[in-house]
Amino acid sequence: MKQLSGLDAAFLYLETPEMPMHVGALHVFELPAGYKGRFVRDLRAHMAKRLPIVPALRRKVWWMPLNLAAPAWVDAEPDLSQHVVEIRLPKAARIGDGLRELEAQVAALHPVLLDRKRPLWKFHVFEGLAPSSHGHKRVAMYSQLHHAAVDGQAAVALANAILDVTPEPRAIEVKPSTRAKKFQMSMGESLRGAMAHQITQVTQIVKDLPGTVGTLGGAARDALQGGLLNSVLFGGKGGSGNLALAPKTAFNASVTDARAFAAVSLPLAELKGIGKAHQATINDMVMMVVSTALRRHLGKHRTLPKKSLIAAVPISLRAAGDTTSDNQASLSLISLGTHIADPMKRLEHIKQASAAMKSTLGSVKSVLPTDFPSLGLPWLMEAATSLYGKAKVADRIPQVANVVISNVPGPPMPLYLAGARMLTNYPTSIVVHGMALNITVQSYNGALDFGLMADAKAMPDVKAFAQAIEIAFDDLRALPLPHELQAEAQAPAELVGRALRSVRGAVEEAVGNTVKGAMTRAVDSVVRGAVQAAVSTARRATASRSAAPKKRATPAKRAAPAKRVAPAKQATVTRRAAAAKPRTRRA
């Protein structure tokens, strides 16, 4: 018996019909030339040979009495006729690549919960695709693995055990196991195992407590001394805003029991080359592509928030070389810079946000727990999950993130399953209440395969979003490279300098020959202008004086008005005056 860790068991407690907790992938295979058999039969025979080296596929969940603590894994013999099944695609799948029909099948199958009475995995083989460009038969497969059994890195390790690097399957040397198989447990054995596990966990916590406190204290001290809380984490001036509350979008709602799925591939080498030119990692470039696609998609619907969208990004806590089938991961938050229209500035924002996340979690990564005491936890988590979904709490409260983005490195070479060459590897993952869009990316054989899983009600047009990702990659291709930006910045200054030198030379040459004439013409022009201005001023002054009314002179003493005399009397007076004048004596 092996009891599930607290983190592994949490995926069982959180599972509801609206939130299936299995992951997987959609694969397309090309069969060898001249293949005439049924692939589902060959795959069952292949899996029968590989099961001895894949213990995660040979165990099932055993629940504790009264569900008091985390369940345990017990041995199981999988019935391959129930775990590897065949599905015929509609006739439309034979037109083109059939991807749209495969996406519809994944969307229909993903909400179906795995049977907990059996090992928690299932492979669906799809028949009815058109032949490849080489004329070879093609088939597809949708794999389902419960997240309680594997995380992203463990799923890759499991795939490496099942797949081969050559068309001819490798021989597997199986050593007989000396361990007695345990298919069930009594109540007493279950309770003893559960209590022993609780004591072990409490002891480990107490043992690690001093180191954990010291690590957390040092991280907090570094954050405060560096002003981290005011800038990098909380979106202060010049910060990334990783810990700011996420703005509301259509896919930040309670999820239903229906799904929409879409897949898209990008060339890995070209994306790496663009990232290298801009001093960005492949994770930075994935975030940039998604950020640009979200801006376009939400902008098309006129629902782009003014604040930046926040991505919840899983980070692996797994040590190098650890391939155990369990969960060793945690979540971090990264601002996507969707509020920034300039693509170059948005890329710099994402690089800064990613660096802030790494610096924040780098010192505390080693103390993040993946296992903890679970006594009574199943009741609490299942009740809280049920209440959270039924009350639609996610529709009422702000979220810490808008979307889940996970980037899992995969094999760089082509792989084969039961002799068939794998062409694509589109991941399928989980959506939860409050985050109805999950974007999982995995590299494979020179390609970056995107699997877009969404709630069908919150984001029914996820296929349009897949097209937005392709357009976003074209936008990245069009970004000017740093040396081009430097050349563009230097070009205006160089042109101005060249023009100044040219003008200076021409002036110096012209001055020697024309300075005298230029000076004469300049003086004549100035004098003529001054004279004309003076004449104009005088004319305006004269015109203003002549137009003004004249003023009458005022005498010192005004004479009395003359008295009017009648004509007859006037004549008499005149004669009298004449008589009174003295006469002149003649000589």
3-state per-residue secondary structure call for 41-68: HHHHHHHHHHHHHCHHHCEEEECCHHHC
The yes-or-no verdict on residue 374 having pLDDT over 60 is no
| pLDDT for res 310 | 94
Of 481, 424, 444, 562, the C-alpha closest to 28 is 424
3-state per-residue secondary structure call for 76-143: CCCCHHHHEEEEECCHHHHCCCCHHHHHHHHHHHCCCCCCCCCCCEEEEEEECCCCCCCCCCEEEEEE
Helix axes 462-477, 282-300, angle to 10 degrees: 120
CB-based burial label for 584 (10 Å; 0-12, 13-18, 19+): exposed
The yes-or-no verdict on residue 72 having pLDDT over 80 is yes
Q: What is the mean pLDDT of residues 284-311?
A: 96
What are the φ and ψ backbone dihedral angles of 453, each rounded to 5 degrees?
-110, 130
| pLDDT for res 173 | 81
| pLDDT for res 529 | 60
| pLDDT for res 196 | 56
Cα 259–Cα 260–Cα 264 angle in degrees, nearest 5: 140
Q: What is the mean pLDDT of residues 214-233?
A: 47
Q: How far apart are the first and last CA of the chain?
A: 182
147 is catalytic: yes
Of 420, 404, 450, 368, the C-alpha closest to 141 is 420
| Model pLDDT for residues 17-60, shown as the tens digit of each residue | 999 999 999 999 999 998 989 999 999 999 999 999 888 899 99
The yes-or-no verdict on residue 180 having pLDDT over 60 is yes
State the Cα–Cα distance between residues 259 and 219, nearest whole angstrom.
41
Q: Give residue 471's pLDDT band: very low, low, confident or very high (50, 70, 90).
A: very high
Of 122, 136, 125, the C-alpha closest to 38 is 125
Q: Return the biggest CA–CA distance within the chain.
A: 191
Of 154, 165, 188, 186, the C-alpha closest to 327 is 154
| pLDDT for res 231 | 43
Lowest mean pLDDT among 153-167, 213-227, 249-263: 213-227
> 27, 124, 146, 147: which one is catalytic?
147
| pLDDT for res 10 | 84
Alpha carbon dihedral 440, 442, 446, 447, in 10-degree steps, equals -20
| pLDDT for res 5 | 77
pTM over 0.75: no
| pLDDT for res 259 | 97
Of 142, 144, 139, the C-alpha closest to 104 is 142
439 in Cβ contact with 292 (< 8 Å): no
Q: What is the mean pLDDT of residues 206-232?
A: 47
Q: Coil, strand or helix: which one is 403?
A: strand
State the Cα–Cα distance between residues 56 and 327, nearest whole angstrom.
12
Q: What is the mean pLDDT of residues 566-582?
A: 46
The type of residue at 441 is V
State the Cα–Cα distance between residues 498 and 483, nearest whole angstrom.
22
The type of residue at 196 is A
State the Cα–Cα distance between residues 5 and 325, nearest whole angstrom.
11
Which CATH superfamily hosts domain 2-174+182-484? Answer: Nonribosomal peptide synthetase, condensation domain (3.30.559.30)
3-state per-residue secondary structure call for 424-437: EEEEECCCECCECE
State the Cα–Cα distance between residues 303 and 250, nearest whole angstrom.
8
Helix axes 268-277, 462-477, angle to 10 degrees: 50
Residue 247 makes CB contacts below 8 A (sequence gap 6+) with 305, 306, 307, 308, 309, 402
Q: For strand 403-408 and strand 84-88, is the pairing parallel, antiparallel, or unpaired?
A: unpaired
439 in Cβ contact with 462 (< 8 Å): no
| Model pLDDT for residues 101-120, shown as the tens digit of each residue | 999 999 999 999 999 999 99
Cα 362–Cα 367–Cα 372 angle in degrees, nearest 5: 145
State the Cα–Cα distance between residues 75 and 184, nearest whole angstrom.
8
131 in Cβ contact with 137 (< 8 Å): yes
| pLDDT for res 273 | 95
State the Cα–Cα distance between residues 535 and 531, nearest whole angstrom.
6
